[in-house]
A and B are shown apart, each in its own frame.
Chain A
Amino acid sequence: MHLGEISGLSLGAATRDAFGDALKELGATNQHIVTVDGDVGNSTRTEPFALAHPDRAFNVGIAESNMVSVAGGLAACGKIPVVASFACFLMDNAFDQIRMSVAFPQLNVKLVGSHAGISIGEDGPSQMGIEDVALACSLPGLTVVVPSDAACTKEATRACLEHDGPTYLRVGRGKVATIYPKGCPFELGKAITVREGTDATIIANGLMVAAAIDAATLCEPLGISCRVIDLHTIKPIDRDAIAAAARETGAIVVAEEHLQHGGLGSAVAQVVVETAPVPMRFVNVGDQYAESGDPQGLLDKYGLTAKAVADAVQEAHGSK
């Protein structure tokens, strides 16, 4: 049973595939776009672009530090470098290079972390990016985007490439539910309300948006009407949408495929506390590393489920 199935959402493409398709499409017309890879282009899906434009694609080997700083140099010369690796190898391994060669000089580098979250499955915790959002959000001036489905990723990729400044786009390995069958009304920094509701709000990103929609479906017969917000851009954050949700629904649950500290939950809580304090609950991986296993089994075991989100909603709602 995939996330979103309870609500009848069908399974769509993986967000990394949507990113790869969008990159290839946009790279065909924008000659400034180049890629810098660290020997995982066939995993991150920069490969279709690289094969189409070998003159604008650089694979520097398993050398993430060099990869990121090379991109900084290319950006300083007016290129739009897309630097993709597994989220953990990019963000964690090359964090100082992202700080000094990208964020501090505010260079127009497009960072893309694939294989984010525990849902990568069998490869296990060494390959799971679950602290990447916290690291990314800590850097001044870095736009941080976690799209929920293929359509959202396509628009997010376009928006990141068009944005003048450094960005981090987080994509996943496996197929995810289709949230936007008719296309995604994506705008950087602007939350999308995917379902209206009056009694509580679930704010989610990535594959947890599908879990949030399912949770809303589960809460309906209990008499709790849930608003669901896809908060794809964590930085800069949509304060108005969060404050309005807190004021209008009085309870907030945040769901994300990330460690408990420093991700979407922390960012939303900061805004809620500053604008309209209401009861909150958080669904995430917790303060621990996961393990190997099948993706669905991992999501179940580590509590990234529709039921966990629905339980959190009842708790938050119940403590109003």
Chain B
Amino acid sequence: MSKLSLDELKSKAKVIRELIIRITTEAGSGHPTSSLSAADVVTALYFGGFMKFDPKKPADPDRDRFVLSKGHACPVLYSAMAEAGYFTVDEIMTLRKLGSPWEGHPNMRRLPGIEASTGSLGQGLSIGIGHALAARIDGKSYHTYVMMGDGEMGEGQVWEAIAAAHKYALNNLTAIIDQNGYQQTGATKEVLDLTAFQPKLEAFGWHVQTIAGNDMAEVVKALETANGIKDRPTCIVSRTQKGFPVVPLLEAEGDPNYHGKPFSKELAKKAIAMLG
């Protein structure tokens, strides 16, 4: 895939954010805010030259992998993949409709280029480890990226996986925690406070960076740094805002988390205008 410049990446992220809002509002359900927080990292992965992939060869054994463990944020994945040429925009507009393979959570059996069927939180990092171990057995150089939510980190399986990735010194695995500060029923600090991710992951033997995850320059730099780590798995704690950059609109609605709710047509219009 072509490697976009920083400015081009920022524009691409805007296009993807607009798609996220449009397809979830059209669907009348879904998780726009969980998708918006993750849009910069996903944009950088697909368009910043970090992942090698060919939409015409989605099963290429040498492709890099992106596992969206927080599967409810699939609008960001579908939108990025549409921009990358896997799907058309018209196709992803069928999101969540009966008969559409663009289901409410990713289904690898129905769509090319989807690496894992997720939606039950906590499993994606383990699946990514499977891909990373397979690369090692086969002597392949592909890299596996896994994105998790900060609420998702409450799942015990995630910590089982973190320990296992360290055991096997998986230098071909990068975990990204989309630390947007909220989970379904409120702030992660109040529901289950695991927020000091960096020391926890470091104690497990991982290389960890904490970055401003809605700042494209920081995202690109962090992914470059991660590429340079050759002796262990890496984690990027991506501090984001859930719903970025339209949080003021959500606050005005009285719900800054806005979890699992599509924007009304009117709110969507305002939000898209706010993207600039």
Contacts and interface: CB of A to CB of B under 8 A. Distances in A.
A77 B135 contact: yes
Nearest to B124: A69
Query: Top 5 A-B pairs ranked by shortest CB distance?
Result: A73-B130, A69-B126, A77-B134, A63-B160, A66-B160
B157 A69 contact: yes
A58 B133 contact: yes
Contacts, number: 108
Interface in A73-111: 73-79, 81, 96-97, 99-101, 104-106
Nearest to B123: A69
Contacts of B161: 66, 69-70
A244 interface: no
A72 B130 contact: yes
- Most chain-B CB neighbours within 10 Å: which of A68, A69, A75, A76? A69
Interface residues of B, number: 32
A56 interface: yes
B64 interface: no
A8 interface: no
B117 A74 contact: no
Interface of B: 61, 107-109, 115-120, 122-123, 126-135, 137-138, 156-157, 160-161, 163-164, 167-168
A208 interface: no
A72 B108 CA distance: 12
B134 A78 contact: yes
Interface of B (DSSP majority class):
helix
Nearest to A79: B134
B157 A73 contact: no
Nearest to B157: A65
13 contacts: A58-B168, A65-B123, A66-B164, A71-B130, A72-B126, A76-B130, A78-B61, A100-B117, A100-B123, A101-B126, A105-B108, A105-B109, A105-B116
Contacts of B156: 65
Given A66-B157, A74-B130, 12 more contacts: A34-B137, A58-B168, A66-B164, A68-B126, A74-B131, A75-B130, A76-B116, A76-B134, A77-B131, A78-B61, A97-B126, A99-B120
Contacts of B168: 58
B248 to A, nearest CB: 36
Nearest to B69: A69
A73 B134 contact: yes
Contacts of B119: 100
A69 B137 contact: no
- Most chain-B CB neighbours within 10 Å: which of A56, A66, A106? A66
Contacts of B133: 34, 58, 70, 73-74
Contacts of B128: 73
A194 interface: no
Contacts of B132: 73
Contacts of B118: 100
A73 B164 contact: no
Contacts of B163: 61, 63
Contacts of A287: none
A76 B129 CA distance: 11
A274 interface: no
Given A69-B157, A97-B157, A76 B131 contact: yes
A70 B115 CA distance: 13
Contact of A105 (B117, B122, B157): B117
A60 interface: yes
A78 B127 CA distance: 13
A76 B130 CA distance: 8
Given A63-B163, A65-B157, A100 B120 contact: yes
Contacts of B137: 34, 55-56, 79
B123 A101 contact: yes
A70 B118 CA distance: 14
A61 B156 CA distance: 14
Interface in A44-72: 55-56, 58, 60-61, 63, 65-66, 68-72
A73 B126 contact: yes
A56 to B, nearest CB: 6
Contacts of A81: 130
A105 B116 CA distance: 8
Contacts of B108: 76, 105
Contacts of A76: 108, 115-116, 127, 130-131, 134
Contacts of A70: 126-127, 129-130, 133, 161, 164
Interface string A121-141: 000000000000000000000
A58 B156 CA distance: 20
Nearest to A94: B157
